[in-house]
Structure 1
């Protein structure tokens, strides 16, 4: 039998056996998701694979941060990267500068059963370049929120009749609540990772953004106009919290979380990703206090909050365009993930896909639904190659801002050093 005849006979036999006429598509997937996020994403991938025998996702989890984005850059250059990957939208400007991302067209979205109007504008804009071309589809919105331990506020104006946080509408209100918590025995009235780049940066950036300040302009200017003075003010506030003994000293991330979960802090400024930690402890009966989480109140001139998004991006594969059938399979995966994002929201995230975020199922999800209002007021990092997770902007937080809030630099000197360091990192 000739090879051609053998191939034809094999195909006929497969059809008679009920096998699919078209070949199965394998989608190579990279992510950086560990811990609870990783568990939830693996469950989603397993479910997709079970529902789609014609498309199978083969997933690999790589190290979060710089190692992940370095791997993406090197693999894209030689055509050895994934078909789809998770991507922080705050890292999009760097990815565009490195030319490792491919645009996602209206036809791609249609293939996925999605449309731009399905997404929160703040998140969708963060997935676009300066000209409005889409390069990453947002999957969630994750921000810092204000966790609270109601036991330190009992009998005060800061709890309503149902024991929910209320009455914080200014910086003065918040600091009054911190002073009250200290009087009521809180070891650290407010906890965040004061000795960690992410924790320090996110609080600083929120205080700057709430004043209407700009860290890096679209033209690449560091703290333009009166943003320098606003940055100084943000550092002064964080320094005062240290001087008053209201926040922990040089706390690394795990220690800052432990202060709250152990009942030693009245408030925690941290990401929505710690909601599962709280709910798991509560369900196990290991918490010992009533808690909640709300959108960061308006402490300054406007109510905005630092935020980022996990998104889905399609990397460059060397000089070769992606096969159309492969791209259709990739978009099918992305569309399915968006429509099943309620399972991802269980990790504390806000779905970026509005049909899920506005569903009855999400409305019943607490405390997520309580702080979901921040989606329309999310303050994403500047559209700059030196901003975003694991970037020079985070480096200055740990190397300059953190020492300043601990009294080793004046706020004015810290901001000037920050400006000089970031300016030196611009290309």
Structure 2
């Protein structure tokens, strides 16, 4: 999903929600590829994305395979800086007529990109010609890509919050069965599992990111468990506050109780929480699934599973990488056809993408022997039916102002500088301010 965590965090901290002036558009490029010249009989296809680190390596391999299989398409792929800089440039490109044929967008950010103004809709007939149709995707994720009855985003994957676990430590604590973590049902059972780890190791059983200048994991943690209660943060249209105080406090008080009892590490920034788990100093780690590459490279005895259902449903906070068509005046012809062909090919070949931990959104891939052979990736694939995306608001989604601002507030509850009630009150105040703020992207509606 992201470049290495340090550069990703700096990208978020450096510009969340802030928009560069139009004159700075060209300076936002991260690792721009040299311009590709289309040869005789070739169609130029320009593609922007934000994948670095392990994801960048996987993407580069897929792009090379596409080029080899499609000699008539001159693919120019450009990697831009992850986070606010990427979305600033993408929005300006759609508004200013300098857009590429195709780009990547996080699904939960679609509402802020003014479909019909900054983005063009897909031609579903063209996708169908390449074997891609609506029934090939989870219904809820497919529908989130729509606006005004047209399809503006085609999902490549979902990248959910997951539970990593150290198999040897869990075995020592009596939490394993048949080589896998025993099912955990309910908040009480999860706390008991952490107590068993602490009894066996003398250390807290759980680590996750709890603080830092640009800390977002506290928001993802809260969003995961709050969604399990059936609560919503915003109204379905993303225009009104809908937080349920009783449900929110139930989650916050539970999480802070884990810290107070010494079952969860109180203070760990992102690099520290990854290191603590990587060094076997705790049994469980809650994070996005993209750290699978880190732990596999370290050759530690670990596995992964869905976040347990602590408060009712088994939902988990997530976002999705999607393909979008940035607005072009007069879009159509061979370049547009090439963009649709590229999207279909990437979906059909997304087993390679799943190696980085992401769950393919193209359902036919999930049942293939090649995907099922990926362990532990395929073992949490059914989470795709239970993902909790942010409601559609311009300030929500990956690298958004909401994640940064609310992550900082909820960090205080986890580290002890705020009470659960105080944190909730501040979360609601921040959300009201965001709801009253106009979308700053050029060409976007309020």
TM-score by length of 1: 0.88
- The aligned residue for residue 331 of structure 1 is 340
- The aligned residue for residue 236 of structure 2 is 218
- The aligned residue for residue 54 of structure 1 is 72
- Regions of 4+ moved over 3 Å: none
Q: 2:311 aligns with which of 300, 307, 312?
A: 300
Length, aligned pairs only: 396
Partners of 1:238 and 1:97 in 2: how far apart? 38
Partners of 1:144 and 1:337 in 2: how far apart? 24
Structure 2 residue 192 is the aligned partner of structure 1 residue 176: yes
Q: 1:83 aligns with which of 101, 122, 136?
A: 101
Is contact 1:31–1:59 with CA below 8 Å preserved after alignment?
Answer: yes
Partners of 2:63 and 2:170 in 1: how far apart? 43
Q: 2:320 aligns with which of 309, 312, 335?
A: 309
Is contact 1:27–1:58 with CA below 8 Å preserved after alignment?
Answer: yes
- The aligned residue for residue 401 of structure 1 is 410
Return closer, same or farther for 1:108/1:188 CA change in 2, 3 Å cut-off: farther
- The aligned residue for residue 144 of structure 1 is 161
Partners of 1:334 and 1:270 in 2: how far apart? 28
Partners of 1:125 and 1:136 in 2: how far apart? 9
- The aligned residue for residue 381 of structure 1 is 390
Q: 1:415 aligns with which of 424, 436, 439?
A: 424
Larger C-alpha radius of gyration, 1 or 2? 1
Partners of 2:101 and 2:183 in 1: how far apart? 49
Within 5 Å, give how 1:11-410 maps onto structure 2. Answer: 23-96=41-114, 99-129=117-147, 131-154=148-171, 156-160=173-177, 162-185=178-201, 187-196=203-212, 197-219=215-237, 220-224=239-243, 227-282=244-299, 287=300, 290-317=301-328, 320-410=329-419
SS in 2 for 1:313: strand
Is contact 1:126–1:380 with CA below 8 Å preserved after alignment?
Answer: no
Kindly state the Cα deviation for residue 188 of structure 1 after the two structures are TM-superposed.
3.5
Kindly state the Cα deviation for residue 186 of structure 1 after the two structures are TM-superposed.
5.3
SS in 2 for 1:335: helix
Kindly state the Cα deviation for residue 153 of structure 1 after the two structures are TM-superposed.
2.6
SS in 1 for 2:264: coil
- The aligned residue for residue 32 of structure 2 is none
SS in 2 for 1:403: helix
TM-score by length of 2: 0.85
Partners of 1:108 and 1:253 in 2: how far apart? 42
In angstroms, what is the RMSD of aligned CA positions? 1.9
Partners of 1:63 and 1:386 in 2: how far apart? 19
Partners of 1:98 and 1:64 in 2: how far apart? 24
SS in 1 for 2:371: helix
Is contact 2:173–2:200 with CA below 8 Å preserved after alignment?
Answer: no
Return closer, same or farther for 1:357/1:275 CA change in 2, 3 Å cut-off: same
Partners of 1:188 and 1:424 in 2: how far apart? 37
